[in-house]
Amino acid sequence: MRTVNKSVYNYDRISITARTVAYVRSFSNIPYAKEIAEKVSAKEAWEKIWGNGPESHEQLMLRAPGIEARGKSIDEILRRSNATQILELAAGMSPRGLAFTNTGKVTYTETDLQDISNEKRGIIESIAPNYSSRKLRLEQANALSYADILNASGAFLNKPLYIVSEGLMNHLNINEKKRVVDNVKCMLQVFGGAWICSDILDRKRLDAADTPGAKRTDITGRSVIENALDSEESVHAFFSNMGFSVEKYPIFTNLHELYSLRILGVPKTEINPLLQKSPWKYTWVFKLNQQRS
């Protein structure tokens, strides 16, 4: 008897979030964030989901400081690590590749699914026509496919590689998460380095913060809350069991640097309660227990 094939999830459904994140990031002072948001009609994508009334404003207040802080936190860890080779998974409309290749010292490959990656290439070309001379590459890669990731990694030399992901893992179910973890693990076995990511959310926090949107399935066909690991302890256990050492860094440390709090006019007394409700709290750094060098 033939078994009925379960419908295959189309990861392109997640791609709308590349635009909504780009819109939220445009309230920060992260270099290139505003230019990119304008070029991808990010505001229109955001308003399709959240409208332009009070709910939209509430969501912006909730997300903008977190998106800004998580991005800056990853940047800071990359700089502190003197990273000269960076592979970004599910880069979407992230401006990091452009910013990090300004000096010519960093080899940066950003990857995403085919459609978003092609669209991003056009955007990068329009912002920085000489981008290929910057050691910045844009490649298609499904993060669940090791072959894709390896194919995308032709620019890297035999020295530590810093893999970044920001906003992918939270959309994946546990088996998919494991596949990405395995893929990253294989890459780090080859190059050494670390995986720096801000997209590991835990259910306990999402529940406590009562994050609106985390339960919604209409946007991507996935519920972030259902796919979350149970707690911070579960995150530790999950990655330790998969052979990683685990470090975590709070993202809300330099509040005076959060431009979005000022631009959105958050009163001083409301900053802490607002940050308590942010779904993002840490940047996680995973290194192989058996590090190559």
Q: Does 69 bind ligand SAM (CB under 6 A)?
A: no
Strand partners, 111: 139
> Closest CB to ligand SAM among 223 and 236?
223
> Closest CB to ligand SAM among 84 and 94?
94
Q: How many CB atoms lie within 10 A of CB 212?
A: 14
| Smallest separation, CB 71 to ligand SAM (Å) | 7
DSSP state of 229: B
Report the C-alpha gap between 220 and 224 in whole angstroms: 9
| Smallest separation, CB 91 to ligand SAM (Å) | 5
Report the C-alpha gap between 37 and 123 in whole angstroms: 10
Closest of 199, 186, 196 to residue 164, by C-alpha: 196
φ, ψ (nearest 5 deg) of residue 201: -100, 150
Total binding residues toward ligand SAM, as defined by CB under 6 A? 20
Contacts of 77 (CB under 8 A, 6+ apart): 196, 249, 283, 285
HSE of 18 in the Cβ direction (CA atoms, 13 Å)? 24
Q: Does 211 bind ligand SAM (CB under 6 A)?
A: no
Report the C-alpha gap between 77 and 68 in whole angstroms: 14
Q: Does 94 bind ligand SAM (CB under 6 A)?
A: yes
Q: Does 109 bind ligand SAM (CB under 6 A)?
A: no
Q: Does 17 bind ligand SAM (CB under 6 A)?
A: yes
Q: Does 142 bind ligand SAM (CB under 6 A)?
A: yes
| Smallest separation, CB 21 to ligand SAM (Å) | 4
Q: Does 21 bind ligand SAM (CB under 6 A)?
A: yes
Closest of 229, 213, 216 to residue 277, by C-alpha: 213
Q: Does 74 bind ligand SAM (CB under 6 A)?
A: no
* Residues within window 151-170 making contact with ligand SAM, judged by CB under 6 A: 166-168
Scanning 48-56, 101-109, 142-150, 274-282 for contacts with ligand SAM by CB under 6 A, the matching segment is 142-150
Q: Does 14 bind ligand SAM (CB under 6 A)?
A: yes
> Closest CB to ligand SAM among 20 and 85?
20
